[in-house]
């Protein structure tokens, strides 16, 4: 009898502990949300809020033989502009009056801030299911690195990988460099398969809001006590990083160290065994296997500035571009190499985002240069339909 009471007390203690933890975490999440109520951009944002609608439109268009759909898979260099001035919107505006085939053309953006080829590989099954006629796959030279910055890792997207590609996601393509490990892969797939992605994101949002709560607490403590050690450390770290990477000028430009960090690898010459190149090949091969036409798109980078800080290497870059062109050729993709399309004055920051005012309307210039490659593939689809 005594042992039974001890068991009951133990169970009651555990249940009380769980309830207390749930209540405290819920309370902290609510407080964090009250301090910072804006929706946060997180790794799951595109899957919960960003992609469903364009994917639905692509699926709907796929049922209409008179519509030819183009899915633009890009990063912030495609979409970081005012509404109506993004590269994908400009591309559609250029293509529509040039289209002489049957039906109409529609361009859908599947782009997201900080999206890399590794991220698109993980969600490619969702895109394939939407059946675009042409997929534009972005190969941003600033993101083709052996080691991506941690803020660009999106291992949560592994929750949407289909079973037939699990080996490549886990072993074959080196996605551990993207944060994809066996435990994460199977945990995330279990969450998504159970239909809990929304709950998962809510929990992640609560934890992210706590970061803002911490900042408020630090500021309050500093104001009341004068103790600013943590804030001073953070400011000094950010200042040191900024001084090392950025030149003191407007618009912002990278120092030699910053530029080397960003594009040093493609400037040194990348071959077919580099992990980002293998992922790009896998994406193009999967689209070819499922009957999707593709364009491998290399967006503009600031070649003029790279030359001015002594980072530009013509021979090494030529090797990297030849590697990209080879995988495009071997997967029947069009190779749209626009890396040197624009001068320094067309770049508004260090992230290869373009100006969009009169003088250098970057998105329009890029769209006009990209359109012929997209048109070739769209006409091929029309002829075979």
Q: What is the Cα–Cα distance from 226 to 358, expressed in whole angstroms?
A: 49
The residues pairing with 356 across neighbouring beta strands, listed in sequence order, are 361
Give the model's confidence band at 225: pLDDT under 50 very low, under 70 low, under 90 confident, else very high: low
Q: What is the pLDDT of residues 228-238, one digit of tens each?
A: 544 444 444 44
Residue among 346, 334, 344, 320 at smallest CA distance from 371? 334
Residue among 119, 140, 142, 114 at smallest CA distance from 298? 140
Read off the pLDDT of each residue in 180-203 and give the average, rounded to a whole number: 88
Q: What is the pLDDT of residue 219?
A: 57
Q: What is the pLDDT of residue 31?
A: 39
Q: What is the pLDDT of residues 13-60, one digit of tens each?
A: 444 434 444 444 444 344 334 433 444 445 778 888 789 999 999 999
Mean pLDDT taken over the chain: 84
Q: What is the Cα–Cα distance from 312 to 303, expressed in whole angstroms?
A: 7
Residue 202 has pLDDT above 90, yes or no: no
Do 229 and 238 form a contact (C-beta atoms < 8 A)? no
Most confident range (mean pLDDT) of 190-194, 221-225, 352-356 is 352-356
Read off the pLDDT of each residue in 155-163 and give the average, rounded to a whole number: 92
| β-strands 360-361, 356-357 pairing | antiparallel
Read off the pLDDT of each residue in 271-297 and give the average, rounded to a whole number: 97
Instruction: Please tell me the total number of residues recorded for the chain in this structure.
Output: 385
Most confident range (mean pLDDT) of 160-169, 170-179, 278-287 is 278-287
Do 345 and 355 form a contact (C-beta atoms < 8 A)? yes
The three state secondary structure string of the chain is: CHHHHHHHHHHHHHHHHHHHHHHHHHHHHHHHHHHCCCCCCCCCHHHHHHCHHHHHHHHHHHCCCCEEEEEEECCHHHHCCCCCCCHHHHHHHHHHHHCCCCCEEEEEECCCCCCCHHHHHHHHHHHHHCCCCEEEEECCHHHCCCCCCHHHCCHHHHHHCCHHHHHHHHHHCCHHHHCCCHHHHHHHHHHHHCCCHHHHHHHHHHHHHHHHHHHHHHHHHHHHHCCCHHHHHHHHHHHHHHHHHECCCCCCCECHHHHHHHHHHHHHCCCCCCHHHHHHHHHHHHHHHCCCEEEEEECCCCHHHHHHCCCCCHHHHHHHHHHHHHHHHHCCCEEEECCCCCCHHHECCCCCCECEECCEEHHHHHHHHHHHHHHHHHHHHHHHC
Tell me the CA end-to-end span of the chain in Å, nearest whole number. Answer: 78
**Residue 251 preceded by cis peptide, ω within 30:** yes
Q: What is the pTM of this model?
A: 0.82
More confident site: 110 or 197: 110
Residue among 287, 302, 288, 294 at smallest CA distance from 355? 302
Give the model's confidence band at 227: pLDDT under 50 very low, under 70 low, under 90 confident, else very high: low
The residues pairing with 107 across neighbouring beta strands, listed in sequence order, are 70
pLDDT above 90: percentage of residues in the chain: 66
Question: Which tokens in the block code for residue 199?
Answer: 């709950």
Report the interhelical angle of 2-35 vs 197-225 (nearest 10°). 70
Q: What is the Cα–Cα distance from 258 to 152, expressed in whole angstroms?
A: 17
Q: What is the pLDDT of residues 170-184, one digit of tens each?
A: 999 999 999 999 999
Q: What is the pLDDT of residues 320-331, one digit of tens each?
A: 999 999 999 999
């Amino acid at each position: 009898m005594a042992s039974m009471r001890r068991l009951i007390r133990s169970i009651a203690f555990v249940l009380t502990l769980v309830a207390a933890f749930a209540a405290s975490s819920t309370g902290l999440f609510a407080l964090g949300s009250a301090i910072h109520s804006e929706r946060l951009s997180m790794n799951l944002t595109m899957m919960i809020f960003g992609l469903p609608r364009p994917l639905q439109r692509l699926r709907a268009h796929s049922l209409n033989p008179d519509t030819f759909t183009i899915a633009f898979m890009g990063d912030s260099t495609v979409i970081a502009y005012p509404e109506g001035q993004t590269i994908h919107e400009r591309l559609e505006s250029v293509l529509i009056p040039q289209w002489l085939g049957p039906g109409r053309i529609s361009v859908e953006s599947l782009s997201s801030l900080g999206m890399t080829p590794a991220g698109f590989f993980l969600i490619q099954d969702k895109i394939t299911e939407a059946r675009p006629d042409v997929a534009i796959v972005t190969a941003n030279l600033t993101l083709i690195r052996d080691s991506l910055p941690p803020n660009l890792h999106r291992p949560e997207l592994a929750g949407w990988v289909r079973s037939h590609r699990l080996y490549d996601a886990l072993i074959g393509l080196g996605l551990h460099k993207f944060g994809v490990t066996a435990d994460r892969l199977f945990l995330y797939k279990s969450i998504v398969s159970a239909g809990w992605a929304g709950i998962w994101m809510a929990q992640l949002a609560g934890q992210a809001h706590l970061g803002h709560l911490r900042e408020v607490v630090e500021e309050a403590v500093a104001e009341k006590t004068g103790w600013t050690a943590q804030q001073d450390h953070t400011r000094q770290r950010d200042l040191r990083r900024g001084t090392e990477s950025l030149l003191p000028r407007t618009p912002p430009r990278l120092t030699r160290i910053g530029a080397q960090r960003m594009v040093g690898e493609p400037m040194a010459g990348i071959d077919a065994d580099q992990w980002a190149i293998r992922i790009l090949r896998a994406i193009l091969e999967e689209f070819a296997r499922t009957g999707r036409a593709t364009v491998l798109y290399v967006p503009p980078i600031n070649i003029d500035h790279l030359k001015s800080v002594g980072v530009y290497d013509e021979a090494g870059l030529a090797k990297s571009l030849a590697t990209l062109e080879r995988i495009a050729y071997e997967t029947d993709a069009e190779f749209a190499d626009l890396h040197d399309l624009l001068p320094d004055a067309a770049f508004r920051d260090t992230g290869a985002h373009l100006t969009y005012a009169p003088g250098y309307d970057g998105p329009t210039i890029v769209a006009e240069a990209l359109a012929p490659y997209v048109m070739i593939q769209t006409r091929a689809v029309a002829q075979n339909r």
